[in-house]
Structure 1
Amino acid sequence: MRIVVTGASGKVGGEVARLLHGAPGITLRLVGRSLERLPALEGVEQAQAGFGDADACAAAFDGADVLLLVSAGEADDRLDQHRTAIDAAARAGVGHVVYTSFLGASDDAGFTLARDHGATEEMLRDSGMAWTFLRDSFYADVLLDFAGDDRVIRGPGGTGRCAFVARRDVAEVAARILRDPAPCAGRALDLTGPVAVSLAEAALLMTRATGEEYEYVDETMAEARASRAPYGAPDWQVEAWISTYTAIRDGELDLVSRHVEEVLGRAPRSLEEAVADPL
């Protein structure tokens, strides 16, 4: 079996590559925009391709029985990138695509970037290839980035709850499915942590896990826009960042799924475990 992993220079894709490295009966090919950033794993093929380059993608995906399509980073042309990569995968004869999507992906999702995921899922449904969607909740590990150096999470999340998932669990689920994709063909798996918590509760759990004081500040919408203005990001991106919190506030991420346990045979990592040992 030939498995191709995109986004292999990133955290999830890189961990998937390490988990699959050396597995019997597998030929592994890692794909990234920069070969220098790919994990240096002995005996593993490497290919350079960005999702915007159809020919490079087709060459990188050629011969793949199963492809891990890690979603492109935030960009105003992300859907175009996904469309190019999916068309290239179909042209290259890929048998099965495992796509890292988002919980509640749809064209009317409150988290605006989840709308891109919903559209990408539709592309894959229409592609003629077998598919599996990994609908990840927000990563627990990313809460550390949200908090920053001052260890304060700021946003209009109110008292809404989210079952934050550990990146390591997402990578383990992906690696397991890539090795045997058929049982999950045509399925959308919701990947969550074991319990839904508010952002204030998350800050308390992060404090307990790390021994450093974290807190949550519930911003108004005006405060959220003002606190993000210094980054100079385009309006669509600022709205996406803020919608991270409003989607939680509005209950769209208040879902606990058993799909991680179903695939891995164990409970998902807790938020405390994820932030104590982040990927």
Structure 2
Amino acid sequence: MTRTAAGAHGVVGVTGATGQLGGRAARRLAAAGVAQRLVVRDAARAPVLPGATTAVATYADGDGLRRALEGVGTLLLVSASESADRVAEHRSAVDAALAAGVRHVVYTSFVGAAPDATFTLARDHAATEEHLAAAAAAAGATWTVLRDGLYADVLPDFVGDDGVLRGPAGDGRVAAVARDDVADAAVAVLRDPTAHAGRTYDLTGPAALTLAEVAQALTAAGRPARYVAETVDEAYASRAGTGAPDWQLRAWVSTYTAVAAGEMARVTGDVAALTGRPATPFADVVAGLVDR
């Protein structure tokens, strides 16, 4: 297959290429013949893909990341792993990318990102979005934000070893999105960044489900589960023994309270608009997980 650049923006950079989302995007770009730079923390884990080179860097190492991204025109900036320093890492990564000459940054955010979002990590994404927009404008670059819903692929992991999905979500709904849908949407933007400059997309599943309905779907797919609604106090108490730091506990509990507040319930057509096909139903995502 002949290798191609991504339109006027040159080589595509993909961060988090060893992860679930970055890896999916990288494989799709390789299949389409797009030249890539895969930025990873561990070269030994980097996927070997046609037309792809590999560079090792972390978000916190601004100088190292700038060197890793030299020659990259368009970048998929996959949000960093959850940590107390996540916003600082994101800002470092944005600044390094723009200093390296990246002309368009595609950032994976979260639905409902806002400074006052109930879900604490959505506040981190809002801060990153604000920095990206300002820094890109100053550098004469452009950006696209993909606000991903809660991953449908991850919801089964919310079920405990006792088969209980528990949390203070009440009867709130969540329009969980398949990782494959997000990867397809990201690739569509990366291959034609100019068409999506300055745009924010909310990537959701095709329906918003209560957690009781999520448990029912898991049970129907062969993963028995039931939903137990907790109070906020009960939620903190049930997770207190994990040894997680306070910021992580707040993030876990606020995932559910954001669902209760309706902040993850909105269903959009952005997946279909970007990919040309409907978003994947939750039941289909779960069936695919069980079949693996």
- TM-score, normalising length: structure 2: 0.92
Where does residue 49 of structure 1 map in the other structure?
A: 57
Per-residue CA deviations over 1:101-141 (Å, capped at 9, x if unaligned) read: 00011100010000010000011111122000000110111
Question: 1:80: Cα distance to partner?
Answer: 0.8
Q: From 74, 85, 93, give the equivalent of 1:85.
A: 93
Given the alignment of the two structures, is residue 116 of structure 1 paired with residue 124 of structure 2, yes or no? yes
Deviation at 1:71, TM superposition (A): 0.5
User: What residue is the counterpart of 2:14 in the other structure?
Assistant: 5
Residue 41 of structure 1, CA deviation: 1.9
* Alpha-carbon distance in structure 1 between the residues aligned to 2:77 and 2:164: 33
Letter paired with 2:39: V
AA in 2 matched with 1:48 = V
Match of 2:286 among 266, 275, 278: 275
Given the superposition, is the C-alpha separation of residues 18 and 148 from structure 1 closer, same or farther in structure 2, using an over 3 Å criterion? farther
Q: Aligned letter for 2:249?
A: V
The separation in 2 between residues aligned to 1:36 and 1:219, in whole angstroms, is 43
Q: Does residue 82 of structure 2 align to residue 74 of structure 1?
A: yes
Does 2:109 align with 1:104?
Answer: no
Partners in 2 of 1:31 and 1:71 — Cα distance? 13
SS in 2 for 1:126: helix
Aligned residue for 2:145, secondary structure, equals strand
Verify: 1:149 aligned to 2:161, yes or no: yes
- Alpha-carbon distance between aligned partners in 1 of 2:119 and 2:153, rounded to the nearest angstrom: 18
> What is aligned with 1:27?
35
State the alpha-carbon separation in 2 of the partners of residues 277 and 178 from structure 1: 26
For 1:3 and 1:277, locate their aligned partners in 2 and report how far apart those are by CA, in whole Å: 29
Segment of structure 1 superposing worse, 160-169 or 40-49 = 40-49
Residue ranges of structure 1 left out of the alignment (5+ in a row)? none
**How far, CA to CA, are the matches of 2:85 and 2:35 in structure 1?**
32
1:178-209 Cα offsets, whole Å, 9 max, x none, are 1111111101000000011100011111222x
Counterpart of 1:246 (choices 257, 260, 277) is 257
> Structure 1 stretch 111-120 or stretch 13-22: which is displaced more?
13-22
- Determine the C-alpha separation between the residues in 1 that align with 2:149 and 2:39: 24
Aligned to 1:160: 172
Matched residue, 1:14:
23
Cα distance in 2 for residues equivalent to 1:31 and 1:171:
17
For 2:273, the equivalent position in structure 1 comes to: 262
Aligned partner letter, 1:153: L
Q: What secondary structure is seen at the aligned counterpart in 2 of 1:154?
A: strand
Identity %: 53
CA distance in 2, matches of 1:59, 1:107: 32
Which AA in structure 1 matches 2:46? L
Residue of structure 1 equivalent to 2:218: 206
Give, in whole Å, the separation in 2 of the partners of 1:22 and 1:262.
21
Q: How many residues align?
A: 277
Deviation at 1:62, TM superposition (A): 1.1
List structure 1 segments (4+ residues) > 6 angstroms apart after TM superposition.
none
Contact 1:224 1:242 in 2 (8 A): yes
State the AA in 1 paired with 2:264: L
Q: RMSD in angstroms over aligned alpha carbons? A: 1.2
2:257 aligns to what SS in structure 1? helix
- Superimposed CA distance per residue, residues 121-163 of structure 1 (whole angstroms, 9 cap, x where no aligned partner): 0111111220000001101111111114333211100000111
**Amino acid aligned to 1:108:** D
Distance 1:234 1:64 in 2: 37
Structure 2 residues not aligned, in runs of 5+: 6-10
- Using the size of structure 1 for normalisation, the TM-score is 0.96
Distance 2:242 2:76 in 1: 32
Is residue 163–residue 192 contact of structure 1 (8 Å, CA) maintained in 2?
yes
Letter in 2 for 1:64: V
